[in-house]
């Protein structure tokens, strides 16, 4: 949690949560790269605008397939999928009563209500 990922040679943002391939030995010499990342999650209280307008294009450009922003104030989740060079092709906002799955693990369902205290 809040460890860097490597989206380019010069950019290593620190998402709040990164679900990555498990291989502890592999990350001794580098941070997880886009092809090793299953999901990135940002938890937004005061950072929602930055997470949507700055981080989403950065992650899309790197090819991160699944990016979520947990909006703690509105208790909803912004889902970004289908990365393109300039941004995500698919953007959804799911409310607290919805359920979703990770792209990498479609058999695992997440109830959005369980993501908020």
Q: What is the pLDDT of residues 15-55, one digit of tens each?
A: 888 888 877 666 566 677 778 889 999 999 999 999 999 99
User: How does residue 83 score in pLDDT terms, banded at 50, 70 and 90?
Assistant: very high
| Encoded tokens for 111 | 């109830």
The domain spans of the chain are 17-115
d(CA 89, CA 79): 11
Q: Looking at the domain covering 17-115, what would its CATH class be?
A: alpha beta
Inter-CA distances, 77 with 11, 32, 69, Å: 25, 24, 6
Task: Determine phi and psi for 55, rounding to 5 degrees.
Answer: -75, -40
| Number of C-beta neighbours around residue 8 at 10 A | 11
């Amino acid at each position: 949690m809040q460890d860097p990922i490597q989206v380019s040679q010069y950019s290593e943002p620190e998402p709040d949560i990164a679900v990555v391939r498990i291989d502890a030995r592999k990350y001794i010499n580098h941070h997880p790269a886009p092809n090793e990342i299953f999901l990135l999650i940002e938890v937004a209280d005061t950072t929602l605008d930055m997470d949507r307008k700055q981080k989403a294009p950065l992650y899309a450009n790197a090819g991160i397939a699944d990016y979520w922003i947990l909006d703690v104030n509105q208790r909803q989740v912004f889902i970004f999928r289908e990365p393109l060079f300039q941004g995500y092709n698919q953007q959804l906002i799911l409310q607290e009563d919805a359920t979703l799955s990770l792209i990498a693990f479609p058999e695992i369902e997440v109830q959005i209500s369980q993501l908020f205290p």
